[in-house]
Chain A
Amino acid sequence: MQDDYSSLWGYRLKWLYTLLVVFTLMAPVFYVMYISFNENGFGARDYVFTLDWYVVIFSDLLLLESFLNTLVLATITVVVVVPMGLVAAKHYKITRYPLAVVSLMLSPLFVPADILGSALLVFFKNLNKTFTLLGESFSVNWFDNWFDLGYFSAIVGLIIYTLPYVFVVILITMARYKDQQTEAARSCGATAWQAFWHVEFPQIRAGIFSACSFTIILTFNEYTRTSLLKGGYDTFTSVLVSQMLNEGMSEQSYAMSAMVSYIAIAIIGSIILLTLVRSERLEQVARAKADPMGAT
């Protein structure tokens, strides 16, 4: 907050500091972007601008497949986790024990990724063993391999990982929503679903979309849980990391990483922009309320 007596230079310095921190944090990403346009790749003495590596991406089947696998994981996670987060946020607003709800919902954040990942790995392996033994006791093999590592186990890990973020993002948007509007809709004859869809959803839409975007970004960022629970090296981050560890990163890997960064920055930038536009609109509403047109 800037007051009339504070120094303008102090204000500018704070901005400069913020930009410096952001730039420092983003510098490696910018460097990856820079390399992705170099025809000679990483570490070369000469820099020759090219878009070829972006074209080559589409011929690297391993990278493309891993990207698609992660996209499938992200899509399924979004479909499951966003409604879960929404239901939890709605429950938070009516519960008599909000602190308990928040604590439970945020608890996965406090478990380190490798511990949660390995715990789930053991859990699924034991579950598999138990079901196999159950099948054996009936002399059938119907229950074998239900919980083999794969999409299902990876998605469970991703849901546990992303749910706290989704919950918080939706909750922040829902804080502005007045429940009396739902009651007003019910009073007009709407069912609970109609009241949600016609009245509440349009007002919390920004939060829902932000939660979807955030989940996709988190899924693309995630390595530990996904690699432990999916098995194999066929997701975006696991392929990139494996390539880097075994052969060093290929030039198209830089291009792919840069492309994912563009998408992430575009999504986050849009969310910030939308939030700013929305908050400006809300301020306009507040100003209009203070001075309504033709008020009597």
Chain B
Amino acid sequence: MPEKNDIAVEVKGLSKNYGDVRALKSIDLQIGAGEYFVLLGPSGGGKTTLLRLIGGFIRPTAGEIFLHSAEVSHLPPNGRPTSMVFQSFALFPHMNVQTNVGYGLRLRNMPKVEIRERVDAMLEMVGLTGYGERMPHELSGGQQQRVQLARSLVLEVKILLLDEPLAALDAKLRKEMCIELKRIQEKVGITFIHVTHNQEEAMTVADDLAIISGGKLLERGKARDLYENPIHRFTAEFIGENNVFDGHVTAVDGEGHVMVDLGYTNLTVHGRDQMPGVGDKVSISVRSELVQLVDGNAMAAQGQEILSGTHRETVYLGLTTSELVRLPNGQELLVRQLSDGSGGNGIKVDEAVQISWRTVDGRLHVS
């Protein structure tokens, strides 16, 4: 079991170019041993490239990779203390489950009896006892992914890399597997690095997560921090359901409040240790569940922000209901509320409405 204070992965100035395309731009990152770490970001953002660099499947253009303090940039995948779980299952189709899971142990010339025992134990851990004789094509997607997980875990490597491991599964199975992955990681205690573009999946499993986009590591932190207090505009747009307003700073007061002109109205937001200058372009984000529809004639109270718009649509989603409101500049804003079972709020399309949120719920983004 690794010490919690150990650094499992450290990358310094890591870059990867494909011809003129810069897939990864000088990334610095440390991942603690025993952590469930998630690389989250949009497709093509560079997160899989980073994972593959850590795994040794591609060579970095520049930078260094340390795994448990050892520099490994020059080593191939089989020379690193890692194993990878792939999105497309990647089971060996000509081997049964038992042989698939025991493949790495056979390469280590382990006695057959010991391989059998360890494979059986691992199949039990992933809930596939009795499936050893089946061929990969006789398994469902979820079962195939469990076999892949067992094949990697049985090697007792220090770091497990998971490349979009749940992307090929349906929504229900994905949720179940998320919880299962987290349970297994806590049981084995090794470092998991999980790549996904699905924020719900990321937030379910992650101890810590990093947002990667455009080849850059934008932001990292706990799931709650990134959800509630994103620093970057991109993070606010990517995580959760946020309404984002762009404008420029008109004033900054001594208490850290920043006044922003949106062009059709002014908003106030707390600077959160960011002190932009007057005239700077900034953004304000506010989560859709913190925005409320209010009386059309309501006046902004102290500590409240208020905007006028026209009601466009009500979308019933079961647990929640979303209201779509168009602002004077044409931007559409989302208000999400728990469905109350009353059958709707009776607001008609194109009816004038007002929306409001507490000033403290707004987040300022200078980048």
Residues from chain A with a CB closer than 8 A to the CB of B84 are 183-184, 187
Give A46 Cβ to nearest chain B Cβ, in Å: 57
Known: A293-B138, A296-B142. A180 touches B90 (CB 8 A): yes
Asked if A95 is an interface residue, CB under 8 A from chain B, the answer is: no
Chain A's closest residue to B88 (CB) is: A180
CA of A221 to CA of B143, assembled, Å:
51
User: CB distance B103 to A188 under 8 Å?
Assistant: yes
User: CB distance B143 to A296 under 8 Å?
Assistant: yes
Asked if A285 is an interface residue, CB under 8 A from chain B, the answer is: yes
Of A96, A178, A289, the contact of B88 (CB 8 Å cutoff): A178
User: CB distance A178 to B90 under 8 Å?
Assistant: yes
Asked if B63 is an interface residue, CB under 8 A from chain A, the answer is: no
Of A181, A187, A192, the contact of B92 (CB 8 Å cutoff): A181
User: CB distance B82 to A187 under 8 Å?
Assistant: yes
Chain A's closest residue to B176 (CB) is: A296
Residues from chain A with a CB closer than 8 A to the CB of B92 are 181, 184-185, 198-199
Give B146 Cβ to nearest chain A Cβ, in Å: 10
Give B156 Cβ to nearest chain A Cβ, in Å: 11
User: CB distance A183 to B90 under 8 Å?
Assistant: yes
CA of A192 to CA of B77, assembled, Å:
10
**Per-residue contact bits, chain A 166-205, to B (CB 8 Å; 1 contact, 0 not):** 0000000000001011011111111110100011001100
Asked if A99 is an interface residue, CB under 8 A from chain B, the answer is: no
Residues from chain B with a CB closer than 8 A to the CB of A112 are none
User: CB distance A184 to B76 under 8 Å?
Assistant: no
Residues from chain A with a CB closer than 8 A to the CB of B137 are 285, 288-289, 292
Number of A-B pairs, beta carbon distance below 8 Å: 83
User: CB distance B83 to A203 under 8 Å?
Assistant: no
Main secondary structure of the interface of A (DSSP, over half): helix
Chain A's closest residue to B102 (CB) is: A188
User: CB distance B140 to A296 under 8 Å?
Assistant: yes
Residues from chain B with a CB closer than 8 A to the CB of A189 are 78, 104, 107-108, 155
Known: A187-B82, A187-B152. A292 touches B107 (CB 8 A): no
User: CB distance A190 to B140 under 8 Å?
Assistant: no
Asked if A245 is an interface residue, CB under 8 A from chain B, the answer is: no
Most A CB contacts (10 A, CB to CB) among B56, B84, B155 go to: B84
Total count of chain B residues near the partner, CB < 8 A = 33
CA of A231 to CA of B55, assembled, Å:
55
CA of A179 to CA of B26, assembled, Å:
28
Interface hits, B86-143 → A, CB 8 Å: 86, 88, 90-94, 103-104, 107-108, 134, 137-140, 142-143
Give B65 Cβ to nearest chain A Cβ, in Å: 16
**Per-residue contact bits, chain A 254-296, to B (CB 8 Å; 1 contact, 0 not):** 0000000000000000000000000000000100110011011
User: CB distance B86 to A180 under 8 Å?
Assistant: yes
Asked if B151 is an interface residue, CB under 8 A from chain A, the answer is: yes
User: CB distance B140 to A292 under 8 Å?
Assistant: yes
**Per-residue contact bits, chain A 106-146, to B (CB 8 Å; 1 contact, 0 not):** 00000000000000000000000000000000000000000
Of A183, A188, A198, A292, the contact of B57 (CB 8 Å cutoff): A183
Give A280 Cβ to nearest chain B Cβ, in Å: 14
Known: A198-B103, A285-B137. A191 touches B78 (CB 8 A): yes
CA of A192 to CA of B161, assembled, Å:
20
Residues from chain B with a CB closer than 8 A to the CB of A181 are 90-93
13 A-B pairs whose Cβ atoms sit less than 8 Å apart in the complex: A96-B19, A178-B90, A181-B90, A183-B77, A184-B90, A186-B56, A186-B76, A187-B84, A187-B152, A190-B107, A198-B103, A293-B138, A295-B143
- For the complex with contacts A96-B19, A184-B148, 12 further pairs of A-B residues with Cβ separation under 8 Å are A180-B86, A183-B90, A186-B56, A186-B76, A187-B55, A187-B77, A187-B161, A188-B78, A190-B104, A198-B103, A285-B137, A293-B134
Interface residues of B (CB under 8 A from A): 19, 55-57, 76-78, 82-84, 86, 88, 90-94, 103-104, 107-108, 134, 137-140, 142-143, 148, 151-152, 155, 161
